[in-house]
């Protein structure tokens, strides 16, 4: 068996078109056919010095040290598949792309894998597609009788730069196929993205499945600023393009503040002209009534007053679905909310082996974006711990990680980590062609803060006195001593607006946690106010009382429960002690230390 090639590699990906249907038709026959298919592909790949590094169902992923061998393997495999009567019902599509990828543990990682996967998804059963770079490497070394047909430039579903696609042809191969399944297959206005989406595979599968369910007309992606809601929505829309006969249309609402302007923005994206005789509220539902179409409404949070308009559109057009991004749900009937989580994180205290570190989405994103400013950047034994800690300190937020990775041009990860104490000042300098709120971490958070009502702003900044988490009881005592706030409604609203996250402790009591990036911003707001000392003193008093209440219980039958409670509040107790020491209250600091 060939060894796994390294450096610049040509990838050959294959899968069987319509395999689900074949399985449903005859499971027993498909098992034997697939076993023969697998044996034939493996043998044919290895005969040309290829290395099969992954199989998933009926899909094969192989790597070759040279592009001509990969092309020869694809040609011989198509001939072999069509030459066996038992395999005649299979239509295997293939794609080839060449690039530098990271190889470890027998697997490969990097942008070329994403590109060849997208190229494969554009093809049809029996078709062999090549990227432009692979075509350039094989055009002077084609097998006898083979040729390459240019299919022109196409935007693949990764939404990045167009790809000039070529098709392998030979007298004994199928040559006529439907148009490629690319973004040109249906009408759309999906914007070009500078970089491919990193990770989010599970979320994409979930979103596409949900949007195809008949009972889900509206799916709203929620989450704090910087979680990547827009990029995820765009990718889901690209994946679903073939499912909507009349296309997929993106409507960016970030520049708007008046909900009355939303119909005009939708009409402009769809190419519907406004008429003086009839308002858009009438013409848009009529235009959409018979259409099968997906609308992506991005940044709805500052124009949530347009929710009734969205509801009327959906009610009048059964073939239309809406994928919305917002920091708050719209509260419409039929709405399915999907909170977008942060990217997967390694545990800085228990790091996996170096070769497995980039299985985490945050690390993969950091590495890819760091290489954009420093092409030779790699994760090493020396910087792995710092990279993992940076991702952890930034809460797994894609925007924050991208901004941090851009600093690698000057600061190595260890130096970058040392400066993260003031992350809001450090994480600036996003691409100038991005919206202003996405150019700095502070801008992303301020966007959310400005949408809060006055009471919500007061509660948000007061919550900065806590560390780690807070119970409703603690919030009421620390943040509402004068009784001027409706704490339950305020906390519920901040959770809904993705500025707090609700968890439960071991006894089922709700605790409310704030991402560290948000906590730093809230701390700034508290410090700028005239009540910082008062709020932090209330916090210290509450946790001093808790510690003194716990002290006699630590030697009784309730010891276990009280120890667990103190452990949960460990960060708050430390913050209280720190405040008492800094404010010179030695007497109460001594009492707190003694109680613990």
SS3 state of residue 337:
strand
pLDDT in tens, 76-135: 999 999 888 778 778 999 999 999 988 877 788 888 998 999 999 999 999 999 999 999
Nearest CA to 233 out of 253, 257, 215, 214 is that of: 253
pLDDT of residue 19: 75
Lowest mean pLDDT across 46-50, 234-238, 517-521: 517-521
Distance (Å, rounded) from C-alpha 457 to C-alpha 479? Answer: 12
Half-sphere exposure of 243 (CA within 13 A, CB side): 17
pLDDT in tens, 288-297: 999 999 999 9
Query: Across residues 418-426, what is the average pLDDT?
Result: 78
| CATH class of the 201-339 domain in this structure | alpha beta
pTM score, two decimals? 0.80
The pair of structure tokens assigned to 345 is 């994180």
Query: Across residues 6-27, what is the average pLDDT?
Result: 84
Query: Across residues 373-385, what is the average pLDDT?
Result: 90
Q: What is the CATH number of domain 8-180?
A: 3.30.70.1230
The pair of structure tokens assigned to 45 is 């790949």
Domain 452-595 is found in CATH 1.10.10: yes
Q: Over pLDDT 90: what percentage of the chain?
A: 52
List Cβ neighbours of 590 (8 Å cut-off, separation of 6 or more).
none
Distance (Å, rounded) from C-alpha 389 to C-alpha 349? Answer: 9
Q: Taking a C-beta distance cutoff of 8 angstroms, is the pair 394, 348 a contact? A: no
Q: Taking a C-beta distance cutoff of 8 angstroms, is the pair 254, 437 a contact? A: yes
């Amino acid at each position: 068996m060939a060894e796994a090639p390294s450096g610049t590699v040509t990838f050959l990906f294959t899968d069987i078109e319509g395999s689900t249907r074949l399985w449903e038709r005859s499971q027993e026959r498909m098992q034997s056919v697939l076993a023969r298919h697998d044996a034939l592909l493996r043998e044919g790949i290895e005969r040309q010095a290829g290395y099969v590094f992954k199989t998933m169902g009926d899909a094969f992923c192989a790597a070759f040290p040279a592009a001509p061998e990969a092309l020869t393997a694809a040609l011989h495999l198509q001939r072999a598949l069509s030459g066996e009567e038992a395999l005649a019902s299979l239509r295997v599509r293939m794609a080839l792309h060449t690039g530098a990828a990271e190889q470890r543990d027998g697997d490969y990682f990097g942008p070329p894998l994403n590109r060849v996967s997208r190229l494969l998804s554009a093809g049809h059963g029996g078709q062999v597609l090549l990227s432009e770079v692979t075509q350039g490497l094989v055009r002077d070394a084609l097998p006898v009788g083979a040729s390459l047909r240019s299919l022109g430039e196409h935007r693949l579903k990764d939404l990045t730069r167009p790809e000039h696609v070529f098709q392998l042809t030979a007298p004994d191969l199928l040559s006529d196929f439907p148009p490629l399944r690319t973004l040109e297959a249906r009408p759309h206005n999906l914007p070009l993205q500078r970089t491919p989406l990193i990770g989010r595979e599970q979320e994409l599968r979930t979103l596409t499945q949900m949007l195809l369910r008949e009972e889900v007309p509206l799916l709203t992606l929620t989450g704090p600023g910087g979680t990547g809601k827009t990029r995820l929505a765009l990718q889901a829309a690209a994946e679903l393009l073939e499912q909507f006969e009349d296309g997929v249309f993106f409507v960016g609402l970030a520049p708007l503040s008046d909900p009355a302007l939303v119909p005009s923005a939708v009409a402009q994206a769809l190419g519907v002209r406004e008429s003086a005789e009839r308002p858009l509220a009438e013409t848009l539902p009529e235009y959409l009534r018979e259409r099968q179409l997906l609308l992506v409404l991005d940044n709805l949070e500052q124009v949530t007053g347009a929710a009734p308009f969205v509801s009327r559109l959906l009610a009048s057009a059964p073939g239309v679905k809406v994928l919305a991004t917002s920091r708050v749900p719209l509260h419409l009937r039929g709405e399915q909310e999907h909170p977008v989580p942060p990217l997967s994180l390694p545990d800085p205290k228990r790091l996996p082996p170096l070769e497995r570190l980039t299985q985490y989405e945050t690390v993969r994103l950091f590495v890819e974006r760091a290489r954009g400013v420093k092409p030779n950047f790699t994760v090493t034994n020396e910087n792995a711990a710092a990279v993992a800690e940076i991702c952890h300190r930034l809460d797994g937020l894609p925007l924050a990680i991208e901004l941090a990775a851009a600093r690698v041009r000057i600061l190595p990860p260890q130096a970058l980590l040392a400066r993260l104490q003031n992350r809001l000042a450090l994480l600036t300098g996003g691409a100038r062609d991005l919206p202003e709120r996405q150019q700095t971490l502070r801008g992303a958070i301020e966007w959310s803060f400005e949408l809060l009502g006055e009471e919500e702003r007061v509660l948000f900044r007061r919550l900065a006195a806590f560390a780690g988490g807070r119970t409703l009881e603690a919030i009421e005592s620390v943040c509402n001593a004068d009784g001027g706030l409706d704490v339950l409604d305020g906390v519920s609203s901040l959770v809904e607006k993705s500025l707090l996250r609700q968890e439960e402790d071991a006894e089922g009591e709700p605790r409310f946690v704030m991402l560290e990036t948000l906590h730093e911003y809230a701390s700034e707001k508290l410090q700028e106010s005239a009540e910082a000392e008062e709020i932090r003193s209330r916090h210290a008093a509450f946790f001093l009382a808790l510690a003194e209440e716990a002290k006699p219980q630590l030697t009784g039958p309730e010891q276990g429960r009280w120890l667990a409670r103190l452990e949960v509040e460990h960060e708050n107790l430390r913050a209280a002690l720190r405040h008492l020491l800094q404010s010179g209250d030695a007497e109460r600091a001594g009492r707190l230390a003694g109680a613990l």
